[in-house]
Amino acid sequence: MESSQQELYEYARKRVKQKKRVYFHFILFFVSSIFLFIINKVLKVDEYDDWYLWVITGWGFLFVMHFIKVFVTESFINKKWEQEQIAKLVARQERRINQLEKKVENDNTPV
């Protein structure tokens, strides 16, 4: 397999793994939320205080952050974006080096 094909395969494998984790996280969140409700209301563990809502809200926030990271952020801040940013920085550094070299040459020219 060529290196570019290997790179594409590895990227695709990584993305599938990330998405799989988000789906697992959602299923775990959903099932656990039901169990927390049952523990609080049916089994009457501190039934007058709706503590399960705080747990579900906190966990829901974490799930939304995980979802955003995988499906929003990773979709435009990916390997291609990273390579473009590196290329921009390298070009900027090369321009700066050329400017400094010209300045040194101009400073060292005899009058």
Question: Are residues 17 and 40 both part of a single domain?
Answer: yes
Question: Are residues 70 and 104 both part of a single domain?
Answer: no
Q: What is the dihedral of CA 25, 31, 33, 34, to 10 degrees?
A: 170
- Summarised one tens digit per residue, pLDDT across range 87-100 is 999 999 999 999 99
For the chain, which ranges sit under pLDDT 50? none
Q: How far apart are CA 10 and CA 77, in angstroms?
A: 16
Is the pTM of the predicted complex or chain greater than 0.85? no
pLDDT score recorded for residue 11: 85
* Domain tally, the chain: 2
Domain residues for the domain of 53 are 1-76
pLDDT score recorded for residue 58: 97
| Helix and strand numbers, DSSP H then E, in the chain | 4, 0
Report CA-CA distances (Å) from 75 to 16, 19, 26, 39, 99: 12, 12, 19, 38, 36
